[in-house]
Every structure is written in C-alpha cells, then in structure tokens.
Homo-oligomer: A and B are copies of this chain.
Amino acid sequence: MQPNEPQRVAVEHAVPDVDGGEFAVKRVVGDDVTVEAVVFADGHNLVAANVEYRHANERDWRTAPMGPLGNDQWAAAFRVERAGEYRFRIVAWIDHLATWQQGFLRKVEAGQDVTLDREEGAALVEEIAKRAGERDADALETFAERLRHSSDKRTLTRLARIVELTRDYPDRAHATVRDTTSPIWVDQPLAICGAWYELFPRSTSLDRARPGTLRDVIERLPYVAELGFDVLYLPPIHPIGTTHRKGANNAREAKPGEPGSPWAIGSARGGHTAVDPDLGTLGDVQQLVRAARKQGLEVALDIAFQCSPDHPWIREHPQWFRHRPDGSIAYAENPPKKYEDIVPLDFDTEDWPALWEALADVVRFWIGHGVRVFRVDNPHTKPFPFWEWLIAEIHATNPNILFLAEAFTRPHVMHRLAKIGFSQSVTYFTWRNSKWELTEYFEELAHGPGAEYFRPNVWPNTPDILHETLQHGSRGTFMVRFVLAACLSAAYGIYGPVFELMVREAREEGSEEYLDSEKYEIHHWDLDAPWSLRHFIARVNAIRRAHPALQRNSSLRFHSVDNDQLLCWSKRSGDGSDIVLCVVNLDPWHAQAGWTHVDLGALGLDWEQPFEARDLLTEARYTWSGPDNFVSLDPRSTPAHVLALTPLGGAE
C-alpha cells in the first residue's frame, strides 16, 4: 500500500461539538465562539494553528490564530455577526522556524557554537520570505542577512518579532486541516433570551356579551408590553372542526354553541392557512403582528400538524391519512385513550414528499404574513427527518425564524429535536419543585452536554399543566415559581392571564388540567383584580431587561444555603461586570431563614473587599463582606431576593 503524504500535526477533541460534527452547535448573533482543540506534533517540533471560519454566504475563510493553553490545548475565539450557518476548521502546522529558534536560544545561552545554526535559521527565514507579501519579504530577507553575519544582542532581540511575523506565511503544504467539525447555527438573540406570554384570543373580549377576536388581542398588546414580555404566543387561530367536537372540561360531545378545542384544526371554512372567521381575518393577523412589533413584541403562532375530521385535506388528500379496514379514517389515540376530534397525518404515506411540502407551505404562508416565531405542538409525534428537513428548508432562506419544540416527552427524544434544528425546547421545569430537583436539573441544562444545542424555555404553567405545587400553593408560591422561571432561565413563559390572576383550581383532585379550561370554553378575565401579580411580573421582567447577567444560561451557579427550603443561585454577564444573586423561599407558608455561602471566587468578587447587595425587587441595600450572609424570606410578603452585587470602595 502506497503511504499518503504525511500530515504530521495531530488535531483532536475540537470543541464546540455536537455528536462528532453530526449536528450544529447553536449561538446567537454577537456571541464569541471559543474554539478549543488538542494540537501537537511528534518529537520536539513546535506547532502553530489557526481557526478558519466563515458564514455560509461568504466565500473566503477568515482567520483567528490559536494560542496555547498548556498541556497541548489550544484556543481561539471569533465573533458571529450574522444569523445563519457558520463553518469552522482548524489548520495546524509544524512551525520550523519557532522550533529552530527554541534550540538556537538554548545553545546561545549555553555558550555553544551556533555558526551553523545561524546559517540554518537564515535559510528558513529566506524560504518563508518567498511566501510573504512584498513588504514583509523585504524585512525577512534583511533579517536573514543580518542573522547570517552576526549574532549580536540586536539580532537576538529582533528574533522574536520575526518569528511572530512569519506566522502569517506558514508552509501549508503539510498542514493538517481538520474540518469534520460541527456547523455553528446562529440565531437572533430572541432564540436564547425572551419572556413569553400565552393567551387565548377568544378570551380577550372586555365585553362579556361576546367572544374575543384578534382585534381584542391588539387592544390587549399594551397590557402584555407593560408586563415586559417579548413574545405573545397564540394557540391555533384556525377554523375548528365540528365533528366529534369536545365540550367543556373535555366532554365527549360538545353542547350547541360550545367552541371546541383550537387544536382540532380545520373545517369547511378552511385549514392550516385559514383564520377562524370568529376570530377575524388574515388582515387582522398582519395588523396584530405589526402592532405587536411596534410595542417590542413578536407574535408566535402555533404549528399543530393534525386535523379535525372536517379539515379540507381529508377530502383533497385522502392518501395523507390512515384508513382503517372499514374505510374510516383513524383518529388519534393512545390506547385506551381516544381523541375523536383529531386525526393524525400519516407520515408513512407513499405520498410523503407532497405532504412534507404542503406542511412546509403552511410555515411559509405564515412567514409571508409576518410571523417569525412558531411554537410547534407535539413535534415528537412526527418523524425526526421531517423536522430536520423542514427547519433546514425554512432556515435556508429565512435564518431568523425561531421554532419552539413543545415536546414534553423522554429526554433523548427532546434532545434529538433540539439537535435537528429546533431553536428552543420546553423543559421539565414545571415538575421540578424541590431544591435538589431544581439544582440538578438546571445544572444539567446550563452545563450538561446538551448546553451546546438544547435551549430551555421554562413555564410555571401551560393550558395543559397546572402543577399541584400551584394548585395547593400560596401567593408566595406563584411569585417564587415566577422568579425561578424568569431568573434561572434566559427564556421562559407563562400562560396568562390565569397565571397572574393565580387561577389554580384543577378539573379534579390528582389532575393537572385546569377546571373549566380555556381549551374548551371562552372566558372573560378581570385583569384589574387586586390580587393580580401583574406589577410583580412587570418588575421582574424589567430587571431581566436591565441585567445582561440574566440573559444567558452558561454562567448559572448554585450556592450553598444551610436550609433546604432556601435556594440560592447567581448569574454573571460575559464580561463579569453584572452579577445577579437570587435567593427564594420554596416553603409556601412559612418564613425561612439561613446562611448563604456564596462562591465569591466564581463571581470574581474579593473575599476581603465588602460588596453591596441591592435588592432589585425592593430597592433595599445591604453591605455584605465575605461568603457567608444571613437571609430570611417570608412567603406572605416577599419570598425572593433578586440582588445585584457590586464591589464597594476601590478606585471609583
């Protein structure tokens, strides 16, 4: 077997990486990407390496020189400035001149004869000069001449600078090029950080005599904006089927006049690209999107790829549905449970290419009407390759579109959806309530292997999940669950107005369903109820906007407290200048007190220097010194501290 041209430099363990380059790592516009790898050659040879990177739309690679971190580990960083796909590769080579320099200087120091070494160094420099630009070539040749004829102090002083200069002109003939790296998918910053608010449009009417419409939602925008949210998410707004329509509290049969579930999509009035005439028109949607954006809000629509038995596709594309031996169309079921008002699409159909295109057309349709954010309903019940294709297809022309995966399912399935392209994912937060559950889970989210691609979006409640912690909790419980969501995770959401109004009655004991759920009936809410948490929510969201520390997840760190009902954590901005420390009382009913032991070193704070802890919720100010500080929190007043930490004194 004929040997290959040798590439002598080993490049191993390049990060960031997802599954050995198979999937993309995720970043947002403005992030610095730090690339690390193990780079080394045989023998005493010194190596040099560059990270080369480019946006998919650029032809030329840009270069970031790697520097050594010790133990053969090298690193370089570059900034991603545009949405879309970036690629990077590592180019590494033996730096013969630097290797020569090292031996040369040691010999000079040992007083050995270096006549031949000077000649060899000069020859190396001249070789490099041939590859250099004209100006540098001149400098290199002059230096080579000087090295050849003298080894005085001045020549040695110039040596380091010359070796540095030659780094721009490596002999790449034998360079190792490592390009089996993960792509880097760059989203708009909303993909990592944003506060979501979900509401049912049909429940937004201030007039109790009629259901709400999209125009009522437009009226509601100032309220949502005042509360400080970034995304307004609407359940499906399409015509609702009448066949097997569900009644209030998921009754098998709807009574006349009951509106049905918005997820039973499609009727004679249209399917996934139609607007329910009871809610309004396509024009209303466009107007809502525009009005929302003016108030700093993105409208997120629901993508639920399923049909009511009355959906136009049943007639137009019967081959997209599974027919049973008696000719009927199979409805959704999870035996023995039945969902008679919904029929699933049959992704096993031989006509799948047309089906996939039709579904992509639904997304394209709403993008065409201004929508940039989609919450995808139960993506885990459709094939992974479908989503991988769909999202790539959309992103190829619209890299700013975001997809939230609403998949409450097994861990590997949730991670797979994130790997194949979903921008964000719902989490188990709703079911993580004790101190150890929260600590373990958020440690995993912030620092586990999924951190490169799985972006959490955490919800204290959803129309499907009213956790018993809220059912049986106090006002303090709602506040704590809100602070946990908003300050543990850069992205979070609530389902309102039931959250801020602290609606908490379950359909029955042991159920996580709301009693009289909006999924099956129309409500009218009193937003001005005196017990509403709206002002508290607005305050916390304002803090999130003012504090970069809360806008990312990777700096999350839990700190020890000697009380199992108190949870303490911190986040820090990338430049270290903004530090937020939170403490919450998980006990719904009783005041709890304890000593926090804050890892000051991890926060860049000095053990000797006092620092100010300013409570951003109450404006109370404390002067702390050292890691141990006493905290007491009462759920009947304020069950949480959200503290900005600032070093005191110094050379201000």
Contact = CB atoms under 8 A, between A and B. Distances in A.
Interface of A: 1-4, 6-8, 10, 12-13, 19-21, 38, 40-44, 71-72, 102-104, 106-107, 109-110, 112, 116, 119-120, 123, 324-326, 333-336, 347, 352-353, 356, 380-386, 389, 392-393, 396, 410-413, 416
Contacts of A120: 324-325
Contacts of A12: 19, 412, 416
A410 B336 contact: no
A380 B123 contact: no
Contacts of A104: 335
A336 B42 contact: no
A107 B336 CA distance: 5
A99 to B, nearest CB: 11
A1 B396 contact: yes
A382 B116 contact: no
B116 A356 contact: no
A3 to B, nearest CB: 5
A385 B6 contact: yes
Given A3-B353, A40-B410, A72-B412, 12 more contacts: A1-B389, A4-B389, A12-B19, A12-B412, A13-B19, A19-B20, A42-B383, A43-B382, A44-B334, A106-B336, A112-B335, A119-B324
B326 A116 contact: yes
A149 B172 CA distance: 74
Given A119-B325, A412-B72, A384 B42 contact: yes
Contacts of A106: 335-336
A364 to B, nearest CB: 13
Contacts of A116: 324-326
A320 to B, nearest CB: 15
Contacts of A42: 380-384, 413
A-B residue pairs, 7 tightest by C-beta: A20-B20, A110-B336, A106-B335, A6-B385, A119-B325, A103-B335, A43-B381
A324 B109 CA distance: 21
A385 B41 CA distance: 10
Nearest to A413: B40
Q: Of A107, A120, A347, A385, which is in contact with the most chain B CB atoms at under 10 Å from its CB?
A: A385
Given A107-B336, A385-B6, A123 B325 contact: yes
Nearest to A416: B10
Contacts of A392: 1
A350 to B, nearest CB: 11
A380 B44 CA distance: 9
Contact of A8 (B110, B326, B385): B385
Contacts of A356: 3
How many chain copies does the complex carry? Answer: 2
Nearest to A328: B116
7 contacts: A8-B347, A19-B20, A20-B20, A38-B412, A41-B384, A72-B412, A106-B336
Nearest to A1: B393
A21 B19 contact: no
A2 B112 contact: no
A628 to B, nearest CB: 30
Nearest to A325: B119
A269 to B, nearest CB: 29
A22 B104 CA distance: 38
Contacts of A352: 3, 6
A383 B4 CA distance: 12
A41 to B, nearest CB: 8
Nearest to A380: B42
Nearest to A386: B6
A163 B322 CA distance: 22
A591 B310 CA distance: 88
Contacts of A112: 335-336
Nearest to A44: B334
Contact of A385 (B1, B4, B334): B4
A413 B410 CA distance: 40
Nearest to A326: B116
A7 B326 CA distance: 30
Contacts of A123: 325
Nearest to A73: B412
Contacts of A102: 335
A354 to B, nearest CB: 10
Contacts of A13: 19
A595 to B, nearest CB: 31
A412 B336 contact: no
A527 B608 CA distance: 66
A383 B336 contact: no
A94 B353 CA distance: 20
Contacts of A336: 106-107, 109-110, 112
Contacts of A410: 40, 71-72
Contacts of A324: 116, 119-120
A227 to B, nearest CB: 36
A109 B120 CA distance: 87
Most buried by B among A41, A42, A104, A120: A42
A333 B103 contact: yes
Contact of A384 (B8, B335, B380): B8
A211 to B, nearest CB: 34
